[in-house]
Amino acid sequence: MRLSICRCRTLLLLALLIVSFSVAQGRWSAQKANDWYRAQPWLVGGNYNPASAINQLEMWQADTFDPKRIDLELGWASAIGMNTMRVFLHDLLWQQDEAGYRRRIDQFLTICAKHNIKPMLVLFDSVWDPHPKLGKQRAPRPGIHNSGWVQGPGAEALSDPKQQARLEAYVKGVVAAFGQDDRVLVWDLWNEPDNPVNQYGNGKVVPPNKMKLVEALLPKVFAWARAAGPKQPLTCGVWQHEWGNDASLTPIERIQLEESDVISFHDYSDPAKFEARVLSLKRFGRPILCTEYMARGNKSTFEGSLPIARKHRVAAYNWGLVQGKTQTHLPWDSWQKPYVNGHEPSIWFHEVFREDGTPYKKAETDLIRKLTQEENGAAK
């Protein structure tokens, strides 16, 4: 009888541990997400890629990783009050050299911490070139916005069920490596997973069944990331602007919003639409992070959107930081009409600083510094 009682107690304890582990690995409750968010400063930063890199592969590969340049540029960001950056990783880099890539990410996080910046790390991206390749990256195409950015997983990996084990190993590996690291703020699992365009506005979807493939894979990515046990929240941002009611959501958007611990979105429109979209997302009762905004030629500006983000305590990540090889200071219309022969747009589309650290518009950096100082204390 005594042995039976002990065995029952052991089984009960094991069951409780299993249930506890299962709950811990599920989506955060709204209360947990909001408690986490209240402990953060007002989050203001940019989507970051150093001026010396055309894409996320060139940023991270061993022979082009540029910690001195990164240190310099993040110093400029910190000086105007920015405290976070959204940074893109890539699965091919993990496959190529897991240990080396982990060391470079660790070095990057050390640089971020030096400048009191906590990054959001992005695991996958469905935008631009669907055929990423390791090694030397091509030079920027003259006068074209973001002419060398690459998707990850690429079309081949997305289409091949046999590569899912590799993608799972990447997600679990990188999240396990840094999931308990206080230097990491958030995991953004997949940038614009339902974006159909592959590169430079040519309108083709590669592979043709991309949406169905993403719809099937995205829940697995969330499950893989949760299985790695991160202390940071997970998110995946919606971007097509119809979120006011459940009936308007696409299957992929539903996955994004129902699986995310904290809600994130993109908006490159005028201030009124920006605020309307913030209000439409408040119905989910979770923290809201705008992970892309600020396209001056599209009426999305710091002076228009940032005060609204502050008013609603929405995290704000503008696209870009420093003019460089991505050429995202050029507008989207450069895909059809390249800005060549020294021709510059009348206003920059994205970016905050010129390559030498001079602000593109001092009034903008003054505004960022002022608003962040009022909310979070003095910038250095």
Can you read off the two tokens belonging to residue 255? Answer: 């996955």
Closest by CA position to 265, among listed 294, 235, 244, 285: 235
Determine contact, residues 59/53, Cβ cutoff 8 Å. Answer: yes
- Per-residue pLDDT, 199: 56
So what's the pLDDT on residue 341?
A: 85
Secondary structure letter of residue 232 according to DSSP:
S
Please name every residue paired with 353 in a beta bridge, in sequence order, or none if there are none: 322, 359
Q: Is 11 helix (H, G, I), strand (E, B) or coil?
A: helix
Q: Which pLDDT score, from 0 to 100, does residue 200 have?
A: 54
pLDDT band at 319 (very low <50, low <70, confident <90, very high): very high
What does the pLDDT average to over 111-115?
Answer: 98
Residue 1: pLDDT over 60: no
The H or E element spanning position 289 is: strand 288-293
Query: Of 125, 28, 34, which is closest to residue 86 (Cα–Cα)?
Result: 125
What is the residue-averaged pLDDT of the chain?
92
Q: How many CB atoms lie within 10 A of CB 333?
A: 14
Q: What is the pLDDT of residues 37-79, one digit of tens each?
A: 999 999 999 999 999 999 999 999 999 999 999 999 999 999 9
Q: What angle do helix axes 271-281 and 302-311 make, rounded to 10 degrees? A: 30
**What percent of the chain is predicted at pLDDT more than 90?**
86
Q: 349 near 329, Cβ under 8 Å? A: yes
Alpha-helix runs per DSSP H in 179-232? 210-227
pLDDT digits (tens, 9 = 90+) for 170-185: 999 999 999 999 999 9
Q: What is the mean pLDDT of residues 205-211?
A: 91
Q: Which residues of 349-363 are buried (b: 16+ CB within 10 A; e: fewer)?
A: bbbbbeeeeebbeee
How far is residue 53's CA from residue 48's CA, in Å, rounded to a whole number? 10
Is residue 343 very low, low, confident or very high in pLDDT (cuts 50, 70, 90)? confident
Query: What are the boundaries of each domain within the chain?
Result: 31-376
Position 308 pLDDT exceeds 50: yes
CATH dotted code for 31-376: 3.20.20.80
Query: Is the four-CA dihedral 296, 302, 303, 304 of positive or negative sign?
Result: positive
Mean pLDDT in residue range 281-309: 98
The model's pTM? 0.92
Concatenated DSSP letters of 262-275 = SEEEE--S-HHHHH
CB–CB of 325/148 below 8 Å?
A: yes
